[in-house]
Chains A and B, each alone.
Chain A
Amino acid sequence: EDQVTQSPEALRLQEGESSSLNCSYTVSGLRGLFWYRQDPGKGPEFLFTLYSAGEEKEKERLKATLTKKESFLHITAPKPEDSATYLCAVYQTGANNLFFGTGTRLTVIP
């Protein structure tokens, strides 16, 4: 069964404390893995798309990486404004929609 699992469900970090969020997937024919940020009461905001194993993308304090089974969103020296829910989603062969994970709620404490 195709699945997208994110861990941890929730993460509390001190400001400046680097960490990683995980998105593991068991889908056939991955055509793209997406990371989004979602603030409370808002729609998802696009962060990255990764297409193949070994690919990495960076944006400010965030870096996304992809293997054949999982993706990591690394956050370096986070700030309180990085607090949000981070969602990953996959796009697979034969599908006409994105399949979302349940997200990781990140809280960065000053």
Chain B
Amino acid sequence: GAVVSQHPSRVICKSGTSVKIECRSLDFQATTMFWYRQFPKQSLMLMATSNEGSKATYEQGVEKDKFLINHASLTLSTLTVTSAHPEDSSFYICSASTSGAREQYFGPGTRLTVT
């Protein structure tokens, strides 16, 4: 149980374009979903927290107009990277929870490369 999927697993896009990443909880309803970014050899940095049906809460330094998060249902959250630039290239990981930050189930991650 508690399986979280992400799609796509890898994506390459051109600079200036937008790309959408999906995060799904497959066998449970997630009231909260978290989006992280991980650069090579670095740890997970929380970008934002989203609760179903409400606006996401972004961490300091994360541009909410650049990283659009939608959590329209209890099983799906999306992260859209708008006007992507090479410095946005990273590994994006989502997690889902039924009970807040303490119990998070992580997805397999999405490798974004912006050329």
B106 touches A45 (CB 8 A): yes
B102 touches A32 (CB 8 A): yes
Q: Interface residue tally of chain B, by bracket?
A: 20 to 34
Residues of A within 8 A of B4 (CB): 43
Closest to B4 in A: A43
Known: A43-B106, A43-B107. A96 touches B44 (CB 8 A): no
Q: Per-position contact with B for A57-99: 1 when CB-CB < 8 Å, else 0?
A: 0000000000000000000000000000001010100011110
Closest to B36 in A: A100
Question: Which positions 47-79 of chain B face chain A at CB distance < 8 Å?
Answer: 49, 57
Instruction: Report how far A89 CA is from B34 CA in the complex, Å.
Output: 15
Closest to B91 in A: A41
Q: Per-position contact with B for A35-54: 1 when CB-CB < 8 Å, else 0?
A: 01000011111100000000
A44 touches B101 (CB 8 A): no
Closest to B48 in A: A97
Instruction: Report how far A110 CA is from B49 CA in the complex, Å.
Output: 41
Instruction: Report how far A89 CA is from B46 CA in the complex, Å.
Output: 12
Known: A43-B93, A44-B93, A87-B43. A98 touches B109 (CB 8 A): no
> Which of A43, A97, A98, A101 contacts B108 (CB under 8 A)?
A43
B106 touches A97 (CB 8 A): no
Residues of B within 8 A of A36 (CB): 106
A100 touches B49 (CB 8 A): no
List 17 A-B pairs, Cβ < 8 Å. Answer: A32-B102, A41-B91, A41-B111, A42-B109, A43-B107, A43-B108, A91-B101, A91-B102, A95-B101, A96-B57, A96-B101, A97-B46, A97-B49, A98-B102, A98-B104, A100-B43, A103-B43
